[in-house]
Amino acid sequence: MSPRRFAPLLLVMTLLAAGGALAQDKGSVNPKPLPPLANPNDPDLAAKELFARKLLPAKGAAHVIGSYTKGCIGGAEQMPLNGDNWQVMRLSRNRSYGHPEMIALIKRLAAKARKDAGWPGILVGDIAQPRGGPALSGHASHQIGLDADIWLTPMPDRRLSREEREDMSAVMMVRHDRLDVDPKVFTPGHVLVLRDAAREPAVQRIFVNAAIKKALCREAKGDRAWLSKIRPWWGHDYHFHIRMHCPPGAGECEGQPSQAEDEGCKPADLAYWFSDAVLHPKPPPEPPKPKPPMTLAQMPAACKAVLHAADAKP
């Protein structure tokens, strides 16, 4: 898809890119539970209000329904909050659930980050809510357990406190002028971690800031076929976003068309992202009207059953 098709959305995407704000929002050590809904059967109620109140996955085998931006997941698996080479961040968001194949992929990537890049491990950001669906904040995607954010900050060689997991920020990888990475923080290890993620056969694409894509194009050695999966997108200055293909046999899952198999490193491939219109967008004459939130009725019909299914055992 050509980025130019998204020009009318430039302001929205710029807001998403503002300092990686959504990914870096702080959490709370003592989060308050959401209040009960006055009328949960209101047909005009935003679906995000319903899915955010489900604290456990739906009972049953893992199954993906719908698309990355309009769907849900039953039988999700929780990423263990601590491992030998990973730690989950922002625990108060309760978005550490995904398809079992996504959880297994993240564990493999964590081990490879230690083996290939010499990192102690990785810091895991948002995957999905316990039953997927739209979230109250942060993402339009991450709804079916096949998206995951991985911080570009290596895991420290120690167990982080709960306070640190809620408060600390990932490191900005992009230079102040937005034209390249910051060489003081973006290292050859980052190239290897992104390469390892992109080489996973189940990975469909990986979103990064355009400056990171530019650096990968410049610094990747040897077999560069994996670069085709690395796609520039707004708002990925501090983390990268893994997106998996629909799992085999997941007939209710709606995936994306595969991108072109070329490296995406030609000057013409990146020129749009470094244009003045993208780096220094002008505000529209009138602010765009907010889009009404998605309702449960607008989601795949099977998501209603997922929403109301019995809880899996914690």
The Cα 58–Cα 134 span in angstroms is 16
Helix (H) or strand (E) holding 167: helix 162-167
Contact between residue 95 and residue 142 where contact means Cβ atoms under 8 Å apart:
yes
Q: State the SS3 of 56-125.
A: CCECCCCEEEEECCEEEEECCEECCCEECCEEECCHHHCCCEECHHHHHHHHHHHHHHHHHHCCCCEEEC
Q: Is 12 left (phi over 0), alpha (psi -120 to 50) or beta?
A: alpha
Q: What is the pLDDT of residue 314?
A: 83
The pLDDT, as a whole number, for residue 210 is: 97
Alpha helices in 199-281 (DSSP H): 210-219, 267-271, 276-279
What pLDDT does residue 146 have? 98
pLDDT tens digit string along 170-202? 999 999 999 999 999 999 999 999 999 999 999
Residue 294 to residue 162: CA distance in whole angstroms:
33
Sign of CA dihedral 177, 183, 185, 187: positive
CATH numbers and ranges of domains, the chain: 61-277 (3.30.1380.10)
The DSSP bridge partners found for residue 71 are: 66
Mapping DSSP onto H, E and C, the string for 141-166 reads: CCCCCCEEEEECCCCCCCCCCHHHHH
* Residues in Cβ contact with 268 at an 8 Å cutoff, skipping those fewer than 6 apart: none
In angstroms, the CA 89 to CA 270 distance is 31
Is the whole-model pTM more than 0.85?
yes
| Under-50 pLDDT residues of the chain | 1-21
